[in-house]
């Protein structure tokens, strides 16, 4: 089974931010243990006096250094280095691990439910990824979405049921099973990795900082030269030069 772990970055109602991002990583179930172990090792190396399970890798907290235990690392460059090391774990994982993200330019969609817009898009893209992965297989692998607990939980549960019964605006879903599973990010290293992917995309579009996204750009789901796993939803620039927009021209 393929598992798509999702988290958001940016706040949908925050008028001071131009973008809302929903993103994460898809891994085959057998990769969960390896990624968890690698991030536990990193936590142990950084904070040897703490149980690894108490160290949560949350990118914005690491970047700011205001919350424990990240306030123990006084150097901002060192904290940024930690974010890169978390992303390195993703880069070292098997090629079947793929990134997915939707970056929504909020001024372009003022009268839309941004969470629904992003979630519907990702459900469709993940299902298409599964269709390609299962081509020619007599016993197909299916997919499950695992999402960080948030205020969106009830609405996303309802949307998932709707998408399973009637499909998205584009098509019916074939391989996604059940409604999303919601978990606390502090209990799942994969949700923490999804947080770093969403944060990287948010920094790229909201702040023009490509340093994180550049590390794993090649890991977005793609085929025949088109990037399927990353989408930039906007209406203000038909000549946008970001990788997602460029690959669709």
Task: Please write the tens of the pLDDT for every residue from 41-51.
Answer: 999 999 999 99
Kindly state the average pLDDT of the residues 29-44. Answer: 97
Q: Is the pLDDT of residue 165 over 80?
A: no
For residues 100 and 24, is the Cβ–Cβ distance under 8 A?
A: yes
Mean pLDDT of the residues in the chain: 92
Our CA angle for 63, 190, 12, nearest 5°, is 60
Q: Choose the weakest-confidence range: 1-10, 166-175, 225-234.
A: 166-175
Tell me, what CATH number does 228's domain have?
Answer: 3.30.420.10
Number of domains comprising the chain: 1
Q: CB atoms < 10 A from the CB of 78, how many?
A: 12
β-partners of residue 102 are 22, 231
Domain that holds residue 200: 2-246
Structure confidence at residue 66 as a pLDDT band (50, 70, 90)? very high
**pLDDT tens digit string along 194-215?**
999 999 999 999 999 999 999 9
Helix, strand, or coil here: 142? coil
When pLDDT is averaged across residues 20-34 and rounded to a whole number, the result is: 96
């Amino acid at each position: 089974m393929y598992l798509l772990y999702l988290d958001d970055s940016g706040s949908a109602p925050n008028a001071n931010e131009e973008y809302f991002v929903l993103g994460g990583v898809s891994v085959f179930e057998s990769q969960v243990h390896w990624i968890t172990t690698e991030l536990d090792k990193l936590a142990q190396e950084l904070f040897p006096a703490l149980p690894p399970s108490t160290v949560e890798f949350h990118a914005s907290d690491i970047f700011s250094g205001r919350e424990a235990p990240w306030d123990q690392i006084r150097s901002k460059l060192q904290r940024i280095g930690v974010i890169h090391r978390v992303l390195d774990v993703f880069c070292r994982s098997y090629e079947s691990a793929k990134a997915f993200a939707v970056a929504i330019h909020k001024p372009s969609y003022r009268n839309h439910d941004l969470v629904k817009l992003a979630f519907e898009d990702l459900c469709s893209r993940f299902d298409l990824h599964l269709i390609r992965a299962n081509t020619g297989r007599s016993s197909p692998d299916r997919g499950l979405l695992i999402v960080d607990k948030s205020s969106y939980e009830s609405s996303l549960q309802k949307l998932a049921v709707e998408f399973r019964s009637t499909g998205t605006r584009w098509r019916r879903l074939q391989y996604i099973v059940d409604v999303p599973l919601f978990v606390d990010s502090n209990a799942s290293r994969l949700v923490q990795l999804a947080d770093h992917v969403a944060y990287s995309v948010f920094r790229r579009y909201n702040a023009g900082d490509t340093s994180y996204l550049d590390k794993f750009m090649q890991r977005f789901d793609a085929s025949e030269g088109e990037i399927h796993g990353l989408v930039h939803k906007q209406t203000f620039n038909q000549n946008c030069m970001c990788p997602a927009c460029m690959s669709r021209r």
